[in-house]
């Protein structure tokens, strides 16, 4: 059973590694960014509500993502493990997740902190070119990460639940380091 949280700045490789590991372990990869982008693409009422936050690199209001995660974790395929990618993103969301998991008798095994220097991130994301990958928005996302999400590293470290992985190496080497970190 694997239950992991992927932390790390934008472009650190959370999505790449989470997708691969989830596929290997046959568990759902739950990316709040992807769920939100899909809503925007489908022009649902949720999508219309959140589009400006994504465009500007701001965090979407907590309640919106908390509802999405609650709904997704309640599906049957998530009963035997999951990888949360991009959630929680601040202490309020982390406390929400604790409470939610407690209610269903689950827990988080590890929070994985992916470490990559800022200049590498900016190069990677500029090359990718997603709609929120302009240099200005990337820099803003990095600021939001430092202010709101980075405190979660100490939050999980303090509970003995943190593993750090060097994300600044080839994708296969990151995957091997990750595997070693979680002991799978």
Query: Catalytic: which of 49, 70, 130, 148?
Result: 130
Residue nearer to ligand AP5 on the CB measure, 1 or 71: 71
Give catalytic status of residue 124 as yes or no: no
70 tagged catalytic = no
Closer to ligand AP5 by CB, 46 or 174: give it. Answer: 174
The b-or-e profile of 58-82 (16+ CB within 10 A means b, else e) is: ebbeeebbbebbeebbeeeebeebb
Is 141 annotated as catalytic? Answer: yes
Task: Find the Cα–Cα–Cα–Cα dihedral 16, 60, 98, 116, rounded to 10°.
Answer: 40
Residue 1 or 123 with smaller CB distance to ligand AP5: 123
Give the residue with the Cβ less far from ligand AP5, 102 or 143.
143
User: Which of the residues 3, 37, 124, 141 is marked catalytic?
Assistant: 141
89 is catalytic: yes
Q: Which residue has the tokens 């907590």?
A: 62
User: Whole-number minimum distance, CB 114 to ligand AP5, in Å?
Assistant: 7
Q: Are 180 and 96 in contact (CB under 8 A)?
A: no
Q: How far is the CB of 82 from ligand AP5 (least distance, A)?
A: 14
Q: CA 49 to CA 33: how far, in whole Å?
A: 14
How many whole angstroms separate alpha carbon 182 and alpha carbon 177? 9
Is 4 in a helix, a strand, or coil? strand
Interface positions with ligand AP5 (CB under 6 A)? 8, 10-16, 31-33, 36, 53-54, 57-60, 65, 86-87, 89, 93, 124-125, 128, 141, 167, 170-171, 174
Active site residues: 14, 89, 128, 130, 141
């Amino acid at each position: 059973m694997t239950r992991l949280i992927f932390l790390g700045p934008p472009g650190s490789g959370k999505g790449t590694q989470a997708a691969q590991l989830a596929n290997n372990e046959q568990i759902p990869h739950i990316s709040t960014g992807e769920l939100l982008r899909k809503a925007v693409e489908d022009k649902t009422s949720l999508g219309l509500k959140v589009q400006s936050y994504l465009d500007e690199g701001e965090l979407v209001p907590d309640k919106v993502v908390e509802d999405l995660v609650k709904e997704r974790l309640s599906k049957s395929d998530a009963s035997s493990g999951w990888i949360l990618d991009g959630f929680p993103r601040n202490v309020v969301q982390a406390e929400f997740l604790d409470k939610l998991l407690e209610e269903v008798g689950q827990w988080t095994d590890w929070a994985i902190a992916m470490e990559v220097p800022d200049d590498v991130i900016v190069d990677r994301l500029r090359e990718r070119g997603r709609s929120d990958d302009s240099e200005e928005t990337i820099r803003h996302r990095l600021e939001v990460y430092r202010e709101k999400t980075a405190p979660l590293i100490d939050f999980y470290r303090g509970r003995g639940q943190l593993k750090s992985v060097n994300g600044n190496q080839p994708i296969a080497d990151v995957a091997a380091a990750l595997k070693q970190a979680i002991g799978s």
